[in-house]
Amino acid sequence: MITKLKSLLLSLFLFVSVYAGSPDVMLQGFHWTAHSAGWWQVVDGLAAQIDDDGYTMVWLPPSSDAASDQGYLPRELYNYNSFYGSQAQLQALLNNLNNRGIVPIADIVINHRVGCTGWADYCNPTWPTWYTAADDEWNGQKSGNNDTGERYSAARDLDHHLPQLQGEIVTWLNQLKSMGYRGWRYDLVKGFAPWAVKLYNDQTSPEISIGEFFDGDVGKVENWVNSAQNSTAFDFPLRFALIDAFDNNNYGRLRHDGLINRQPGKAVTFLENHDTEEQRGGEYVPPFPRFHLEAGYAYLLTHPGIPCVFWTHAYPFGGFPDVGDTIRELIQIRKEQGIHSTSQVDVQAADGSKYAAIIDGKVAVKVGWGDWSPAGSDWTVASSGQNYAVWTRCSGDDCVQPGGQTTIRVHYDTGFGNSISIRGNRAPLSWSQGVATNWSAGNVWVYQTDAIPAGATFEFKALINDSRWQSGGNNVGRGGETIDIYPNF
């Protein structure tokens, strides 16, 4: 009974100590081809920037030697010379992050393992072949127990019923802790029982645990976190709901879909990861639409849950869209306003053109092309861009923002026509007659407004060939800023 009580208290402490009242933001510290770039040194070199940008946690890729470049077919668990770099480089990175107060999160792949020269000759550490689940494809000597989850054919499924295997995994996790890792991201948790995650967390005490339950069914994801008890989960259902909202004007889903709307303290929210990103070419699911990235992060970074920012969105790579400045601005708002994993959301609108909410009574957000702004004069625009705006409470002179000229830069692909215009609801722009220009392939068209009065905002749209509005509708601007938009014509 005492042991069970200690386990319960440990589980409660895990969540109380990490999540309550803390405006955490996680960075996924890699992408699918990061292994080809001396990655530990890349992240180490950006640690100061990561700290300055406001990230409190960094999820790193699998650290051990593996049969796959990305590390998801683990081979020698205790060999930390991988495709991402040497053990010394990894240790230097972990030291750097910890010295800055950033929590390093290890990618834990324990559903399966490969042999060193064959299918199941496990080495470093050496395990007997009978650690392999009875229903695995391999025909050698196996356990008497079937797999505790979905089968995975690319490697040998492990039998987590075995106390011997449990002890080996706990020993390895504790070595990772001794190196400086402070949290676990469990890979492919559909492949083994959630009670195993609880067992490993109870015996290693990570500061945060996250399960990758890759499924759009919020009921299934919630059932997993309830069974695991002391772990969060990535909010895949919310990701799919956000894409549907932006692509199909189905903003009503944001009222109720996602783990964030059921157990926000256990939801790690995200738009993209290494399995869903553009580099994967839709191998599993389509990537998040580029032209909705800013609005997507406006939702994530103003709402409860623990938001996770994808590397190539924060630190551009290979021509992917640069929304890093917007993300940094939104993280700053989250921290200044104290938005945390269990903040309270008061939904103001969720219809065919927009979603709007007020969080903790001090941050308002609108995503979508429909018109909305918070009532009252004590709100000031804190961030705005393509199909989103964020307001914070203000008082006195803080409610009056500087006026001035606003620059609108329209980034476009070729092949859509030969003219573009900007139209809006404040002079010199109007909805009926905009400012037009000719354009040529490869240009970024720039328009500068007349001075906008202090404290005023305006709405605008991009129009191509005077006939097709930008998909997604309104953008919000204010005096004295520069706005980049990526029309979806």
Residue 52's region, left for phi above 0, alpha for psi from -120 to 50, else beta, is alpha
Among the residues of 181-268, which ranges form H helices?
194-204, 218-228, 236-248
User: Cα 369 to chain center, whole Å?
Assistant: 23
Residue 396's region, left for phi above 0, alpha for psi from -120 to 50, else beta, is left
| Packing angle of the helix pair 236-248, 293-302 (nearest 10 deg) | 130
Question: Which residue type, as a one-letter code, is found at position 281?
Answer: G
Q: Are 10 and 202 in contact (CB under 8 A)?
A: yes
The helix/strand count (H/E) of the chain reads as: 11, 23
Q: How far is CA 465 from CA 348, 411, 460, 471, in A?
A: 35, 15, 16, 14
Query: What is the distance between the alpha carbons of residues 325 and 340, in angstroms, rounded to a whole number?
Result: 21
Query: What is the distance between the alpha carbons of residues 22 and 342, in angstroms, rounded to a whole number?
Result: 9
Residue 298 corresponds to which tokens in the numbers above? Answer: 């406006």
List residues with catalytic annotation: 187, 212
Cα–Cα nearest to 229, from 247, 246, 214, 211: 211
Query: What is the distance between the alpha carbons of residues 98 and 50, in angstroms, rounded to a whole number?
Result: 12
Residue with tokens 């650290």: 63
Query: What is the distance between the alpha carbons of residues 309 and 297, in angstroms, rounded to a whole number?
Result: 8
Q: Three-state secondary structure along 155-191?
A: CEEECCCCHHHHHHHHHHHHHHHHHCCCEEEECCHHH
Question: Which residue type, as a one-letter code, is found at position 76?
Answer: E
Q: Which are the contacts of 192, defined by CB distance < 8 A and separation ≥ 6? A: 110, 111, 147, 148, 149, 158, 160
Question: Which residue type, as a one-letter code, is found at position 307?
Answer: P
